[in-house]
Amino acid sequence: QVQLQESGPGLVKPSETLSLTCTVSGGSISSYYWSWIRQPPGKRLEWIGYIYYSGSTNYNPSLKSRVTISIDTSKNQFSLNLSSVTAADTAVYYCANYQRTTGYYAFDYWGQGTLVTVSS
């Protein structure tokens, strides 16, 4: 059973960079796609982007200029950097496995989520 766990600061100052890491256990990160998704308080889920184990990425155009997702297969971890944050980036951030089943992709395994608040 694959398990994911987010880690990182819960409070980030405006204009700074939000950095989170997702540690994958119970399976190898060297397959499938790995994604970040966020949910502002009381709002819908928003896909941020995903990375393939090879390092190729795909980002949401609404965040693309500020987002970097990277992967460290030796540590079974992948990471999110979101630069120049504002209060609008306050959200619960989830990492998830983006897996293909019979030709269709879905977010199969999720981390528990971590609340990141942007405030001075």
Partner 1 sequence: DIQMTQSPSSLSASVGDRVTITCRASQSISSYLNWYQQKPEKAPKLLIYAASSLQSGVPSRFSGSGSGTDFTLTISSLQPEDFATYYCQQTYSSPITFGQGTRLEIK
Instruction: Catalog residues that contact partner 1 under the rule CB under 8 A.
Output: 44-47, 58, 60-62, 94, 96, 101-108, 110-113
Q: Identify which of residues 5 and 76 has a Cβ nearer to partner 1 in the complex.
A: 5
Q: Identify which of residues 10 and 103 has a Cβ nearer to partner 1 in the complex.
A: 103
Distances in Å between the Cα of 81 and the Cα atoms of 8, 15, 23, 43, 66 are: 11, 13, 15, 22, 8
In degrees, rounded to 5, the angle at the alpha carbon of residue 69 between the alpha carbons of residues 53 and 17 is: 160
Quote the least distance from Cβ 13 to partner 1, whole Å.
26
Compute the distance between CA of residue 56 and CA of residue 53 in angstroms, rounded to an integer. Answer: 7
Quote the least distance from Cβ 47 to partner 1, whole Å.
4
Q: Identify which of residues 13 and 106 has a Cβ nearer to partner 1 in the complex.
A: 106
Give the closest residue to 95 by CA, choosing from 83, 109, 81: 109
Quote the least distance from Cβ 19 to partner 1, whole Å.
20
